[in-house]
Each structure stands twice: as structure tokens, then as C-alpha cells.
A and B are shown apart, each in its own frame.
Chain A
């Protein structure tokens, strides 16, 4: 109980209400800075050469030094990843709805999709190169292939878990399969869908960088591969840092979209009564 609510006429000195400082939003920054400080100290104290593990300051120098190239390659990777991801969203959504629509299609396609997902995408890149040549298209397609599966599975799960009672209520009213899909199935699968976007976008980065590393002449994957061949380890790490930044930014964007569109599914956190 706060001091202002007490009605007893006791002459207590009224303490100014001190709001405790909210550290929570700062925690990610504190932990990140701590990680880099530890890293820096570790490298300096152990005397590791920067060709093995460069200190953060050395990586930062590399970022500044090669900024022009890094910027160009980062944008290229961001481009291939985003395009591949968007393709995966469209195709994953469509296939997820199809698979969730009918148990027949589900039974037929599921093993194929699992098998397909089990194939290491690095093994697919050479085939894509044969078909499309090196460069942007294999990177986009690899990102697409790797990001596609979690979206399909999640959308299909959302559809498959409609409560039977809801379906009965609607079917008893004469609802067609299409009605149930539109009124219940699709809205219901949206939290699953947006949840899967967070997984899919990070996987899409993995896909595009794999492809760029093997067969491209631009993009962060290509940049890191060529820096490595010249023993420019700080530049390799600079590439990794840029990837991490892009990954975090896109993930945050997806998380924001998820929260905006399907707030009702996260009621326990956002609504307290």
C-alpha cells in the first residue's frame, strides 16, 4: 500500500514515491557490450594474433576501412535474403493452406516435404548454379528453399488444430469447407504463420550466405570467402558482424509484425485483465 492511500492520521513523513529505474529495455545492450568487452580483454590478455581471433576493436577498424565494399555486399545479401524469404512466405502460405485443407493432400505431401527439408541445401546449390549460373538467383532460391519449410508446417498446424466443436457449430449451420477456412482456419493459423516468419527469416540468411559462399561474386558470403583466402580474418569477422546485425534487424521486424497483427494470441503478456 502506498503512503498516499493510508487514511490514518499518523504524522508519517511522506516519502517521495521513487520509481525504480526500469533496466529491462537496456539489458540487451548491456549484455552485448559485456560480450564484446570480455572478448576484447580475452584477446588482449592471451595475446592471440588477429589472424586467429581478432579483437572487436580490430574488427571495427576493418568495418571502417572496408566500409564501401561491406556496404555493397551487405545490401546484396539483404536483397537476396529478402526476396528468397518473400517467395518462401507466398509459397509456404499457399502450400500450408493446401496441406491443411485436405488430409489426403497432407498425407501425400508430408513425407516428400520432410525428405526435401532433410537435404542439405549446400548440396542443392551446385544444381542451381548449373541451371541459373552463379550469382543472385541461386542465392535467392537457396534462401527460399530453406525458409519455406517452417512456414508450411506452421500454417498447416494452425489449420489442423481447429476445435472440432467449432467446426460442428458451423457445419450445422450449413457452412461449406470454404466458409470454415475463411472464418476460422485462416485467422486461426495466423499466429502460427507469423511465429514461423521469425524462424524463416533467420534461416533465409543461412541459405543466401551458403549460396554466396559457394557460387557468387557479390554478397557477404562471397566477401567472407575471398577475405578468408587472403587471410584477412578481421574482414571475415566484419562480415559475420554485419550478418548478425541484419539478422537481428529482420528478426525484430518480424517480431513487431507478429505482435501488431496477432495481438490476441499473446493476450497473457499484453493484457492483464
Chain B
């Protein structure tokens, strides 16, 4: 995948990656290695010049609508209440668009249930700018999940949060993944986050990005946050850290 014509930046090249259904995959790598490009390729926002992307058995040639996305920036729409923000994808996705008006109540219940899951019960009628950064990011996750996507793409969603909120949201994501049949791809630069949450951690090389190595994280689920302070956890993180340092030097 190359940006801006033939002389443009080659963002990713020879990138090969497979994620099984229901798997939680994390992608880590040095900064500028094309992680965000990977997101755009998978979701069909960009179409690769060479090679194929296959999602749910179909060759991606246009934006796939079975995916939910969340970015570091929560991008809530300030003129909508939190609940309406969460319901927004339903007004877009064809499947739900037609049903929305008649089954509004059912969807609202579903949204409220989701908000409750992430600890935002009773905040639906608030406007996003009345919420804290962490709360907005929770609502953002709800919005990414409301249309029951088969695939959830998270691009450093916890990057801008403080350490405590981040830990809390890790647990929220962990529980969501455990309770729903959803495949998650998490792009992050936080190795501990990747190891704590994911089944597989994919290490990317410096630009042009490709996958250097895939680690299977075998810690039993459900994982408790205290796992992060055990030595076997730190060993894995340490190993990953070494690889990324190598990838940076190679650049």
C-alpha cells in the first residue's frame, strides 16, 4: 500500500496477517510503521494497490459494513446526546436503517444496556462535552459495538487516557470480548495492554510495515488485572520490547 502516487510513501509492503474469527489480535510496532494503514486496509477505507484483504470470506473492495471502529480521539458529535451518538451507526448501516424507526425502543434499550456494561448507566441523556475523556471513550466503544459488528477495529483507543482509566477500560474490553462473539483487532503502542488483552500479538517492522513475528499469548482467561504484576507476564512484555527495539534499529 503506497500513499500519494508512485513516489509516495510506501506504508506497508509484504504485510501478511491472519486473524481467526472470535480472536483478539493486537498489533504493535514502532511508530510510523503503518498500523493505521493496516486499519484502513482491513476496513476497506483504502484498497491496496497490490495484494488482497479478505474479511469474513469476502475480498474487500469497498468499505465493509460489519465493522465497528474506535480511535484515540472519541469523535462524539457534540450536538447529539450520548445515547444518540451511540445510536448513530444504526442510522447508517443498511440492515438497521430500515428497522430503526419502527423498533426504536428495542434499539434504545440495547444502547442503554451497552452503556450500562461500560459503566455509563444514566449518562445517555448527557451531551458528550459534559462527560470526562474516559467516559467519552467508553461511549465511543458503545458506538463501535451498537450494530453488533463481527469485527471491532481499535486504533489506540486508550492512548489519551490516564493510567487508572485505561486499566478500567481494559477490563471493560476484556469483558465485552468474553461476552460477545466478536473479533477484535487492537492497534496499540502499549505492550502491556497488548499482552493483557490479546490472544495473539503481531509485531510489525518499521516502514514499510510488515509482520515480523506473531506471539501467542497463552495466559488463561478470564485474566485478572493482577496478572500484569506477575513475572511470567513481564517476561512476555520484555521479549516483545526487545523485538520492537530491534525493529527500530533495523529502520
Contacts and interface: CB of A to CB of B under 8 A. Distances in A.
Given A168-B69, A169-B75, A175 B127 contact: no
A169 B71 contact: yes
A264 B78 contact: yes
Interface string A202-244: 0000000000000000000000000000000000000000000
Given A168-B45, A168-B69, A264-B127, A174 B77 contact: no
B45 A271 contact: no
Contact of B45 (A166, A172, A262, A273): A172
Contact-size category for B: 20 to 34
B91 A165 contact: no
A213 B63 CA distance: 58
B31 interface: no
Contacts of B69: 168-169, 172
Contacts of B130: 271, 273
Nearest to B91: A183
A171 B40 CA distance: 10
Nearest to B40: A168
Contacts of B178: none
Interface string A234-270: 0000000000000000000000000000101101000
A184 B92 CA distance: 12
A183 B88 contact: yes
Given A183-B88, A183-B91, A271-B130, A172 B67 contact: yes
Interface of B: 40, 43-45, 62-65, 67, 69-71, 73, 75, 77-79, 88-89, 91-94, 127, 129-130, 143-144, 147, 153
Interface of A: 163, 165-166, 168-175, 179, 183-184, 187-188, 190, 262, 264-265, 267, 271, 273
